[in-house]
């Protein structure tokens, strides 16, 4: 591939709701650029970017995919993100890599939840946004309604750059409002007949061009002043304003297209290449040198820095580590430094990705998306640079997973395979987390929703050949005492030879320190060397529990008396005696179960607030407050028992039409209501009896 400088390349991320045509649009760009001979279709499982088996089986993107086209001596890089919000980790990674976020809109539905969330995430990251109304040829398309919906929804002005000639079954072409020419499509070749605007469309073209110029005039004070004076901008003004204003996020351009009929995609490629800002036109990159903020120009002359935003697993090459080069350049075979791991690496061969196809390049520079293979330590979320520079790229922040399952391999021989699989998948997807629950012996996998976790399970089976059983994670209940009590723990065993003897008197008191052990023995009734053994026995009994088999917490244990035998007493005997004394005292100490309570922060449309609060109350939740947010949304704060919330994301999606989401964090433990506690204790007793 030709080497492009930073003033000749740009990365555009494709985002939006499911089935808005992102992958099809990219497919059409690849076809128009001559990279493929035939446009694939999602339904036929043959598109460039949906190459994973799970994507083809589901008919939707689930991974962030990369591609590129070369057009008009420019390089347009593409990152295609999933539309389903369970995969928002991929969306966030894509927004990091993209210079501009292209949000796709279905003209039959306009503002859908995937579009809302993508726009919100883009705005949070100060990412310039463009809109692409795709599917103008659809039978229920209403593109002008879609345009008005976008105008009213967007917080800044919309600059229409193309509009359609006809729609639904009457779609014939588009009007390029920058050139004021019509692109008429007789076939799907991507090579339209470019003509003057048909007479019957001139008025609407002039009307929308005026909207475009009004928006572009907001790019600078000079252009605003000129427009107010003359009510017009010349072609040079428009070109300058479009480049500067888009880079600064002053307005949002809008395109129309029919990707499946290859209509409007050619104009998009032309406009991006000729008018859009390129990587070097954006504001300097904010980097860190230690704790100092450093700003560097986004070009090849700056020191080399890059950030790993995606890792893919390749059957032949191993981990394919994909980076966005922020500043400077790197050549194949040169050394670089991993700041996160504090280790040197060698770049080896460099690749650019086109779906799962990998093309070699000799050098990558500022603005490039480039992949490395066979690196020793570098992985997703690592910042790399020249060793002398020591410049850190601020990293991506991913949301905490909110949906969890406990898994166990169907065959015990597959335990290690599961561990390896989860570790590999975690490297590919930072929004997925897993760990071994040592308390219950389960693997816990966590993602952004049931679809996300379901896809992980499919991948474990297909790639690693492991089948697993699933269940909700077990609730980590705890036990505690509510009253003081004391009891004896006496262990005596005689078996022909030397016996075992230990005798303890223990008092329990509630406390807030978690655990406190007090040696109050006087007069040597228990020798000092056996005191630690008693404490060890008590701790062992606390781990096993005394009510339902859950660990005991918040208890003060006072060892105040006992007796010993000069021959038969031993460390083991006093461990057992300590354990017995603790259990016997617990029977008198009015034990209760404690359950974990979490703080939930639920964001939803305001109209769903009442339903959500009612549902939370039914889950034993306590509302802590509400906060109004922009866009007609509200954040509800509530404290809810974890046991009530394992599948809550599915309920929330149902109540809000997919528009609700939440975050959560541990708050504290509190007593389980007595009726529920009795049920839990009986279930545990039945489990132990079965075992």
- % the chain with pLDDT above 90: 85
482 half-sphere exposure, CB direction, 13 A CA radius? 8
* Model confidence pLDDT, tens digit, residues 231-281: 899 999 999 999 999 999 999 999 999 999 999 999 999 999 999 999 999
Distance CA 221, CA 244 (A): 12
Residue 398 pLDDT: 92
Query: At the fourth CATH level, which superfamily is domain 405-471?
Result: Elongation Factor G (Translational Gtpase), domain 3 (3.30.70.870)
Segments making up each domain of the chain, as ranges: 6-281, 285-385, 405-471, 479-589, 593-675
Cβ–Cβ < 8 Å for 175, 201:
yes
* CATH hierarchy code of domain 593-675: 3.30.70.240
| Cα torsion through 115, 121, 124, 127, rounded to 10 | -80
Residue 531's CB is within 10 A of a number of other CB atoms, namely 18
Residue 673 pLDDT: 96
Q: Specify the pTM.
A: 0.90
**Domain 479-589 sits in CATH 3.20.10.10:** no
Distance CA 465, CA 469 (A): 14
643 half-sphere exposure, CB direction, 13 A CA radius? 19
Q: Which fold has domain 6-281?
A: Rossmann fold (3.40.50)
Question: Residues in the chain with pLDDT < 70?
Answer: 496, 691
DSSP state letter for 546: S
Residue 112's CB is within 10 A of a number of other CB atoms, namely 21
405-471 against 593-675: fold identical: yes
Distance CA 473, CA 391 (A): 41
* Model confidence pLDDT, tens digit, residues 140-194: 999 999 999 999 989 899 999 999 999 998 999 999 999 999 999 999 998 999 9
Selection from 394, 150, 374 nearest residue 254 by Cα: 150
Distance CA 385, CA 106 (A): 41
* Model confidence pLDDT, tens digit, residues 49-94: 998 887 888 878 888 999 999 999 999 999 999 988 889 999 999 9
* Model confidence pLDDT, tens digit, residues 83-138: 888 899 999 999 999 999 999 999 988 788 889 999 999 999 999 999 999 999 99
* CATH hierarchy code of domain 285-385: 2.40.30.10
In Å, the largest CA–CA distance within the chain is: 113
Distance CA 395, CA 385 (A): 14
83 half-sphere exposure, CB direction, 13 A CA radius? 23
Distance CA 405, CA 410 (A): 15
Residue 186 pLDDT: 93
Strands of 172-316 (E only): list them.
173-176, 181-184, 193-195, 252-257, 285-289, 292-296, 305-314
Residue 52 pLDDT: 85
Residue 691 pLDDT: 60
Cβ–Cβ < 8 Å for 595, 681:
no
Residue 512 pLDDT: 87
């Amino acid at each position: 591939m030709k080497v492009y400088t930073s003033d000749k390349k740009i990365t555009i991320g494709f985002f939006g709701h499911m089935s808005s045509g992102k992958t099809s649009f990219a497919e059409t760009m690849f076809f128009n650029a001559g990279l493929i001979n035939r446009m694939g279709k999602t339904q036929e499982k043959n598109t460039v970017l949906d190459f994973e088996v799970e994507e083809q089986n589901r008919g939707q993107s689930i991974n962030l995919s990369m591609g590129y086209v070369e057009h008009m001596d420019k390089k347009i890089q593409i990152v295609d993100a999933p539309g389903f919000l369970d995969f928002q980790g991929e969306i966030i990674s894509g927004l990091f890599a993209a210079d501009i976020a292209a949000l796709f809109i279905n003209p039959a539905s306009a503002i859908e939840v995937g579009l809302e969330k993508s726009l919100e995430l883009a705005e949070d990251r100060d990412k310039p946004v463009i809109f692409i109304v795709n599917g103008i040829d659809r039978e229920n398309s209403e593109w002008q309604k879609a345009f008005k919906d976008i105008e009213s929804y967007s917080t800044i002005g919309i600059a229409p750059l193309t509009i359609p000639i006809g729609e639904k079954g009457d779609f014939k072409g588009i009007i390029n409002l920058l050139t004021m020419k019509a692109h008429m499509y007789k076939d799907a070749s991507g090579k339209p007949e470019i003509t003057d605007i048909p007479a019957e469309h001139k008025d609407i073209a002039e009307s929308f061009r005026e909207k475009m110029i009004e928006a572009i005039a907001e790019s600078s004070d000079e252009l605003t002043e000129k427009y107010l004076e003359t009510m017009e901008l010349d072609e040079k003004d428009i070109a300058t304003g479009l480049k500067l204003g888009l880079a600064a996020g002053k307005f949002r351009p809008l395109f129309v297209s029919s990707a499946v009929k290859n209509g409007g995609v050619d104009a998009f490629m032309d406009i991006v290449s000729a008018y859009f800002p390129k990587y070097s036109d954006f504001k300097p990159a904010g980097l860190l040198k230690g704790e100092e903020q450093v700003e560097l120009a986004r070009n090849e002359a700056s020191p080399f820095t890059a950030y790993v935003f995606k890792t893919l697993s390749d059957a032949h090459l191993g981990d394919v580590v994909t980076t966005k080069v922020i500043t400077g350049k790197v050549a194949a075979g040169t050394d670089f430094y991993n700041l996160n791991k504090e280790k040197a690496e060698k770049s080896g061969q460099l690749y650019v990705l086109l779906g799962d196809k990998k093309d070699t390049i000799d050098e990558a520079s500022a603005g490039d998306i480039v992949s490395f293979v066979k690196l020793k330590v570098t992985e997703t979320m690592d910042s790399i640079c020249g060793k002398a520079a020591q410049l850190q790229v601020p990293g991506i922040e991913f949301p905490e997973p909110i949906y969890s399952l406990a898994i166990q391999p169907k065959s015990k021989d597959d335990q290690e395979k599961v561990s390896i699989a989860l570790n590999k998948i975690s490297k590919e997807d930072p929004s997925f987390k897993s760990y071994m629950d040592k308390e219950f012996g389960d693997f816990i996998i966590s993602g952004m929703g049931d679809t996300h976790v379901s896809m992980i399970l499919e991948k474990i089976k297909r790639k690693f050949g492991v089948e697993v059983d699933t269940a909700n994670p077990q609730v980590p209940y705890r036990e505690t005492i509510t009253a003081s009590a004391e009891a004896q723990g006496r262990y005596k065993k005689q078996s022909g030879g030397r016996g075992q003897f230990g005798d303890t008197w223990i008092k329990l008191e509630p406390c807030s320190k978690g655990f406190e052990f007090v040696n109050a023995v006087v007069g040597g009734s228990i020798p000092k060397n056996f005191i630690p053994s008693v404490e060890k026995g008590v701790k062992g009994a606390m781990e096993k529990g005394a009510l339902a088999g859950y660990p005991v917490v918040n208890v003060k244990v006072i060892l105040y008396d006992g007796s010993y035998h000069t021959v038969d007493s031993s460390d083991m005997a006093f461990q057992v005696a300590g354990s017995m004394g603790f259990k016997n005292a617990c029977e008198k100490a009015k034990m209760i179960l404690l359950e974990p309570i979490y703080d939930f922060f639920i964001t939803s449309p305001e109209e769903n607030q009442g339903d959500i609060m009612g549902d939370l109350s039914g889950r034993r939740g306590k509302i802590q407050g509400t906060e109004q947010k922009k866009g007609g949304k509200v954040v509800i704060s509530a404290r809810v028992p974890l046991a009530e919330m394992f599948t809550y994301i599915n309920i929330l999606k149902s109540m809000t039409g997919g528009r609700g989401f939440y975050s959560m964090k541990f708050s504290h433990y509190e007593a389980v209501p007595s009726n529920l506690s009795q049920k839990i204790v009986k279930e545990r007793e039945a489990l132990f009896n079965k075992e």
